[in-house]
Amino acid sequence: MTSSAGYPFDKTYYQAVKGMVGALDVLEPGGDLIIVSACSEGIGSPDYAEAQMCLANAGPEGFLRGILDKKYAAIELAGYLTTVISNELSGEASVVAAELARRAIAFKKASNPGDKACLIAGGETTVTVRGNGKGGR
């Protein structure tokens, strides 16, 4: 049994999912996960609600197939220039942030005026705790 850490982190199902993900590391194979969350503001954004409806209707395999079968991502259909910077970011968050900012500025300078851009980066950075902080997740 887990929670999404209470208010305000339990206002939407979108936020509650984060509480579920955090508990997955200790869930035994075949185990049950129960989450307690108010969800006082519903499921989340309309886009998230639509994605959850697609997942429920198509099942996990069909949902993933629907994503992979698309020639273009929704962001590209909206007219954004997209580029994946990295899917394996790691290192000190402040250093990584500075590098991402440098890449974003360079991308903007290389673009035409009025172009809309979407830079995609994923991974996991670290933050050095100083003083009496506890750190952790």
45, part of any domain: no
Residue 99 covered by a domain: yes
Would residue 108 count as lying in a domain? yes
Q: How large is the greatest C-alpha to C-alpha distance in the chain, in angstroms?
A: 53
* Average pLDDT of the residues in 118-128: 86
pLDDT in tens, 20-47: 887 888 888 899 988 888 999 999 999 8
pLDDT computed for residue 96 by the predictor: 92
Q: Is residue 103 part of a domain?
A: yes
In a domain, 30, yes or no: no
Residue 102 lies in a domain: yes
- Please indicate, yes or no, if residue 3 is contained in any of the structural domains: no
**Number of structural domains the chain divides into:** 1
Whether residue 39 is contained in a domain is answered as no
Integer CA distances (angstroms), 26 to 20, 36, 63, 112, 115, in order: 11, 17, 26, 49, 45
- Residue 119's domain comprises 72-132
